[in-house]
Amino acid sequence: MPCGSPATGTGCMDGENYLLIVVFPIRQSTNQTVRRSMPLFSTPEISSDVRITRITYVEVTGKSPKMIGKNAVKDDHGDTNRERLVRVFTNSGLEGFGVTRATADAIEAETPNALGVNPASLVDAVQGITLRGIEHALWDLIGKITGKPVYALLGASCRDTIDAYDGGLYFCDLVYPELGLARVEQEAVESLAQGHRAIKMKIGRGHKWMPPEEGFSRDVDAIRLVRKTIGPDIKLMVDGNNGFDEAGAERLLEAVGDQDIYWAEEMFPETIEDYTKFRAFLDRNDLKTLIADGETLAEPSPLYPFIEQHLIDVVQLDTKRIGLSAWWRLAAFSQVHDRLCAPHTWGSRFAVYVTAHLGKVIPNFLSDEIPAYDPDAYHPTGFTFKDGAYTLSDMPGWGLEIDEQVYQSKYARIERHWEI
């Protein structure tokens, strides 16, 4: 079985860490299927003397080299975003850091379960790390203590490089109306120049920002222009951000059916009835476009029926929202049902790197997503990007480094902290 293709059966993770041994289709309830496909997390080998002594939290800034425009439902995103950075320190002198969706108060609520505790005891064999607010900082810490990259804490590597697409082609024609679609073409050219081999573009202008028919026509023209610009060998995906209904999604795919759309993402709100219709439409018209969805969900269970019934092809829950541990288990469940995984990372450069580590060890991984924002507080020392893919080093932890000069000058004085 080639890594990255949908398959049911044993994968690239080593048997010591993984319980996925299914070699036949499962016809059981969701809960039974989850139990059959549950991965195991190894207890890290950490000296019993190591204790967590301090936790800090602060919001840091990311900048984009371009203005990020609207999508179908949200107004201009701008050229700046913020991430919530958590650092976890120990009495060994080593620290880990990560990004979280949790608020400072939520982090504070977790500190009694972490301060004074050995990091190894926070890894459950089945659930992984359940302290969601500091989970990613703990994985980084454990990797640094054990001298392993995070992916090596999960299992054996199953691929050398991690495909990653450009997710930053928003409604730039509406940001620069004097340029119109020429701006869309320009950003597609820039994406290719940056080394991307796959591009995702937003559609759904007629949902909110333009008259419906005018917006529909603009979407179709934009798709055709981007395909012409990037050529036939670059993957092109579309993302509707629920800006269509099911009939509108069919109409859009009919209009661009000759443009080789690799996947159609979040075209309309998820219901079994509508997704059954949409799947039948694609099959009836012999369209090979994959159905992708799941980024807005806070946890995986609402998507289980869509996965089990093969109503979606690409599972996309957000990496920062559900965390590494939950995503690793979700990937196993998805593999049982021959579904691919392309975690959502938009708005968090850190989530890109977490997702890359996942991509190293889950056999049904499809692609990472690269947002436009770059943080100033940390740098990806252990990553290189070339020809549309990341290569990870064997640096311990995430392979990221805090820029202490920036951190101390901008963020140290405003951080919240808890310690023993």
Per-residue pLDDT of the chain (420 residues; tens, 9 = 90+): 333 333 333 346 543 454 443 333 333 444 444 444 556 899 999 999 999 999 999 999 999 999 999 999 999 999 999 999 999 999 999 999 999 999 999 999 999 999 999 999 999 999 999 999 999 999 999 999 999 999 999 999 999 999 999 999 999 999 999 999 999 999 999 999 999 999 999 999 999 999 999 999 999 999 999 999 999 999 999 999 999 999 999 999 999 999 999 999 999 999 999 999 999 999 999 999 999 999 999 999 999 999 999 999 999 999 999 999 999 999 999 999 999 999 999 888 999 999 999 999 999 999 999 988 899 999 999 999 999 999 999 999 999 999 999 999 999 999 999 999
Surface-to-core class of residue 387, CB atoms within 10 Å of its CB (0-12 exposed, 13-18 middle, 19+ buried)? exposed
First-to-last C-alpha distance (Å) of the chain? 50
Q: Is the dihedral of CA 336, 342, 120, 128 positive or negative?
A: negative
Q: Is 258 left (phi over 0), alpha (psi -120 to 50) or beta?
A: alpha
pLDDT of residue 47: 97
Name the pairing type of β-strands 161-169 and 52-68. unpaired
Farthest CA pair distance, the chain: 66
Nearest to 327 by CA among 45, 132, 160: 132
pLDDT of residue 274: 99
pLDDT of residue 247: 99
Query: In this structure, which amino acid lies at residue 319?
Result: T
Map residue 301 onto helix, strand or coil.
Answer: helix
Element at 274 (helix H, strand E): helix 272-284
Dist. CA 70–CA 65, nearest whole Å: 16
**Residue ranges, CATH 3.30.390.10, the chain:** 52-63+83-155+402-419
Instruction: Determine the CATH number of domain 52-63+83-155+402-419.
Output: 3.30.390.10
C-alpha pair distances (Å), 313 with each of 17, 290, 294, 357, 364: 26, 6, 11, 21, 11
Nearest to 313 by CA among 333, 341, 287: 341
Tokens 């800006």 sit at which residue? 243
Dist. CA 256–CA 105, nearest whole Å: 47
**Residue ranges, CATH 3.20.20.120, the chain:** 161-400
pLDDT of residue 372: 80
pLDDT of residue 28: 41
Dist. CA 243–CA 53, nearest whole Å: 47
Using an 8 Å Cβ cutoff, are 346 and 369 in contact?
yes
Read off the pTM: 0.92
pLDDT of residue 38: 59
Class of domain 161-400: alpha beta
Dist. CA 202–CA 39, nearest whole Å: 35
pLDDT of residue 218: 99
Using an 8 Å Cβ cutoff, are 104 and 272 in contact?
no
Instruction: Point out which residues pair with 68 in neighbouring strands.
Output: 78
**Residues whose CB is less than 8 angstroms from the CB of residue 323 and which lie 6 or more positions away in sequence, other chains included:** 128, 129, 132, 135, 136
Map residue 369 onto helix, strand or coil.
Answer: strand
Using an 8 Å Cβ cutoff, are 41 and 154 in contact?
yes
Using an 8 Å Cβ cutoff, are 278 and 243 in contact?
no
Print burial letters for 397-407: b (CB count within 10 Å at least 16), e (below 16): bbbbebeeebb
Instruction: Point out which residues pair with 90 in neighbouring strands.
Output: 52
For 79, other C-beta atoms within 10 Å of its C-beta total 14
